[in-house]
Amino acid sequence: MTDIGGFCSPRFSGVFDAFEANFEENLELGARFSLVVDGELVVDLWGGWADRKQTTPFDDRTLTMIYSTTKAVAATMIARLVEQGKLAYDQPVASLWPEFAQNGKQAITVEQVLSHQSGLPGFTAEMDPALWFDLQAIAAKLAALAPMWPPGSASGYHALTVGYLTGEIFRRADGRTMGQALKADICHPAGLDLWIGLPDSEHGRVAELKPPTALPVFGEITDPKRAAFLSPWAAPNGRGPEWRRLEVPSANGHATAEALARFMGALAGDGSIGGVQVLSPAVRDLASAERIRGQDLVLPYELSWAAGFMRAAPNHFFGPGERTIGHSGWGGSCAFADPDARVGGAYVMNRQDVHLIGDPRSRRLISAAYEAL
């Protein structure tokens, strides 16, 4: 039996049972699930171990790397610039970043980048994987790159590259890096344990990941899939201190589930966390609108993309809400906001599974939460 810490409102006892079942069925090493309803934290459960040797408990201070769940945070940070008038979704990226116009990319818009339509999922030419640690070098390579398909014609998941693209867009529009703005404007004043670019002082709290035992199923292997995931240089080697310090808004955020749930809970409600305004409902709705829907060229799913968020339809990985937005992360993490039910939630863990999105563990928890609503 795994000791479960935290609390769970009696109304959501089914969520406790689902969380406990994930451990009883040996699906977890360490995990946390948090749920916010109408701005109130109603579920915050954790359990298991933060390390593979099972010597350090996974507790309320444990941070996990959330991989692509970071993209939901990045989408919100870009939306804040839209709300502030520093950026427009239909604005050509090259108007901010002139070098990006190379190789026929002059008309690609900010929202096309955010919704994975720009045709830049990765690099087909061999390169040193260590280059991913050089933000400006990768941005320059992407600015010079030719799209792999006609921009705007389809989505093809930009697993890693979209973080370098949005990070550069944010920096040019705001003057700060996205991680700096996230900390100064939201996380520090609201008390959120959520980071893009993790200071060395926090590294000792990071859970050790247990990688999956198999590769995800991508279907027929194509050049965009190789570029995004399957080449030897599709990602950096290693996930140590240098990677944690880096700001890659697509892949290396660190957070607690409680911080993520409160962040997404703001999007599901009036846009605020304890007096800190994150995003107005009107701009949330603008960011949440569908930009493209269809069979993705990289992920083996039909997907509906908003401006950086995964939308509910057609898969409903984040529950039954039709207007729910969120994102999943490699290995199983996820965060979501449902403005109709006014629910925000997040699941983090350190035993990674092969599911690219819609991990069965999080789906069980989310289903139990909605049964109680």
Report the candidate in 291, 301, 297, 288 with the shortest Cα–Cα distance to residue 154. Answer: 297
Residues paired with 212 in a beta bridge: none
SS3 64: strand
SS3 6: strand
Residue 335 carries which side chain, given as an amino acid letter?
A: A
Distant-in-sequence, close-in-space partners of 248: CB < 8 Å, separation ≥ 6: 70, 132, 135, 160, 163, 164, 167, 196
SS3 301: coil
**Annotated catalytic residue: which of 9, 34, 68, 362?**
68
Alpha-carbon distances, residue 59 vs 64, 232, 257 (angstroms): 11, 35, 11
Q: What distance in Å separates the CA atoms of residue 245 and residue 247, rounded to the nearest whole number?
A: 7
Q: What distance in Å separates the CA atoms of residue 251 and residue 112, rounded to the nearest whole number?
A: 19
Check residue 256 and report its DSSP letter: -
Examine the residue annotation and report whether 304 is marked as an active-site residue of this protein.
no
Residue 196 carries which side chain, given as an amino acid letter?
A: I
Positions marked catalytic = 68
